[in-house]
Structure 1
Amino acid sequence: MPKQKTIPELKAEITANERQLAQLQHKQQQLENRAVYYEKGDRRKRAHRLITRGAAIESIASLTKVLTETEFYAFAEKALALPEVKGLLMEAVNEHNRAEYEGRF
């Protein structure tokens, strides 16, 4: 039969367990903070990409500045649906993929 622990031993065990619990809670908070940091980073990268590409379109086709958002989307849909534009976009994507593939080796 195991020996019963004394009150000071039990108090020391409680203190050690509380310390361990605090450490684990701190580690959990660190991991949650890291996840939020990476998530925000992805959103910031996307926002940056959208802003810079929108600015590029506006600088190349300055007449788009006068269009409303709805009008601009309608224009972009029509322009990107043209077979010539689709072909140019596909060429650009293929060139990107080719360069990325060659960069690996």
Structure 2
Amino acid sequence: MVKQKTIPELEAEKAENERKITQLQHKKQQLENRITYYEKGDRRKRAHHLITRGAAIESVAPLTKVFSETEFYAFAEKVFSLPEIKGLLMQAINEHNIAEQKER
């Protein structure tokens, strides 16, 4: 036969369960915060990457600073569609891949 618990025992059990719930809620919040932190980190890395690339273009070709965003994109499309540029880009990518394979 199962022994019935007294009211103080039930209240103690309830308090313990509420404490466990609170701990689990804190643990869940910590994990959600960690996810947010890593997602923000990825966005920050991407933003930094884009900013440094844009700065590099402006330092190599300072006249591009006068372009609006639309004008700059149109200019970049024209430049990167030139056969000579496509060839140089592919050559640079191949050299990068070869160097990367040597490092491994």
Q: TM-score, normalised by structure 2?
A: 0.92
Q: Which amino acid aligns with 1:51?
A: I
Query: Which residue number in structure 2 is paired with residue 47 of structure 1?
Result: 47
**Where does structure 2 lack aligned partners over 5 or more consecutive residues?**
none
Letter of the structure 1 residue corresponding to residue 51 of structure 2: I
Q: 2:21 aligns to what SS in structure 1?
A: helix
Equivalent position of 1:66 in the other structure = 66
Residue 4 of structure 2 aligns to a residue whose secondary structure is coil
* Unaligned residue ranges in structure 1 (runs of 5+): none
Q: For 1:17-43, what per-residue CA distance to the aligned partner results, in whole angstroms no more than 9, with x for missing partners? A: 011101100000000000110011111
Q: What fraction of aligned residue pairs are identical, expressed as a percent?
A: 75
Partner amino acid, structure 2, of 1:49: H
Alignment RMSD: 1.2
For 2:60 and 2:89, the matched residues in 1 are separated by: 16
Match of 2:83 in 1: 83
Q: CA deviation at 1:87?
A: 1.8
Distance in 2 between residues matched to 1:61 and 1:31, nearest whole Å: 45
Q: Which amino acid aligns with 1:58?
A: E
Q: Which residue of 2 aligns with 1:8?
A: 8
Task: Tell me, yes or no, if structure 1 residue 20 matches structure 2 residue 45.
Answer: no
Q: TM-score, normalised by structure 1?
A: 0.91
Aligned partners of 2:95 and 2:15: how far apart in 1? 63
Whole-angstrom CA distance in 2 between matches of 1:87 and 1:9: 79
C-alpha displacement at 1:12, in angstroms?
1.0
